[in-house]
Amino acid sequence: MDGVKHIIAVASGKGGVGKSTVTVNLALALAAQGYRVGVLDADIYGPSQAQMLGVKEGTRPQAASNDKFLPLQAHGIQAMSMAFMVNTREPMVWRGPMVVGAFQQMLTQTQWDNLDFLLIDMPPGTGDIQLTLAQKVPVAGAVIVTTPQDIALLDARKGIEMFRKVNVPVLGVVENMSLYHCEKCGHEAAIFGTGGGDNIAQEYDTQVLGRLPLTLSIRELTDSGRPSVVSEPDGAVSQTFATIAQKVAEAVSANQGDGPTISFSE
């Protein structure tokens, strides 16, 4: 893609595991390490990156030349989302082809400005958007977000298998909500279980990029439009994201030159 060196899909097999929160903080962590970064919110039905990045409701992208439009700027990164195109209070009652068309338009008609990394916040599941992405552009790799419990891991496996079918390398797994930390008393508890990220990484010969705790501050800061990486750059959560960002950049560099091809097997 013009203006983009590497595309990274951030995906999950199911919703509710914190994929969008991981996407925005990972993007900001990469930017903090000196990379030029963009975020494309591919969740057409439920876009959330606009709020997470603190973009005011009703803000629209400006038109550029050649029927393209300029991404918005937020916290030093470039962003494009369906939330910039429509009234987010209205439901998107669209069939599959309309959703795919909207995604392709954002993907191909956004004039990205010299990005090192474009992170795509994928919708949950393994459907039209995922296949369209793999078919239209070379994807450098995928980051899989999961929580430790067995039900979430079942769906995470499907996400990994889907990317393998289209020959997109899985860069690693982020285990979110791995440990509950009470901010009042300091008590910690693995309420969703333990070892899930390690097990799935071992099963698919990939790595655990990092583990994130279940804490109130992550949710509050993201909801307010100032995610942890920019609000608490020296905090433990931001340091974890910095480590994840470094591992992602290293994995992309190691895989450079291995563009995906479409190959389905029974």
Q: Where are the beta strands (DSSP E) in the chain?
A: 4-11, 37-41, 72-74, 77-81, 115-121, 141-146, 170-175, 180-181, 188-189, 208-211
Confidence band of 261 (pLDDT split at 50, 70, 90): very low
pLDDT digits (tens, 9 = 90+) for 106-152: 999 999 999 999 999 999 888 889 989 988 899 999 999 999 888 88
Distance CA 140, CA 260 (A): 8
Residues annotated within the binding site for ATP are: 13-20
- In total, how many domains does the chain have? 1
**Residue 162 belongs to a domain:** yes
Q: Domain limits at 147? A: 4-255
Q: Is 266 part of any domain?
A: no
Please report the pLDDT score of residue 264 as a whole number.
37
Q: Does 264 map to a domain?
A: no
- % the chain with pLDDT above 70: 96
The model's pLDDT over 23-79, given as tens digits with 9 standing for 90+, comes to: 999 999 999 999 999 999 999 998 999 999 999 999 999 998 788 999 999 999 999
Supply the pTM of this predicted model.
Answer: 0.92
Note whether residue 261 is domain-resident. Answer: no
Structure confidence at residue 186 (pLDDT): 77
What residue numbers does the annotated binding site cover?
13-20
Predicted confidence at residue 104, as pLDDT, reads: 93
Residue 69 belongs to domain with CATH number: 3.40.50.300
Q: What is the pLDDT of residues 163-200, one digit of tens each?
A: 999 899 999 999 999 888 777 787 888 888 888 888 89
Residue 67 counted as domain residue: yes
Q: Is residue 198 part of a domain?
A: yes
pLDDT at 253: 93
Contact (Cβ atoms closer than 8 angstroms) between residue 125 and residue 83 = no
Residue 262, in any domain of the structure: no
| 260 in any annotated domain | no
The pLDDT score that the predictor gives to residue 68 is 92
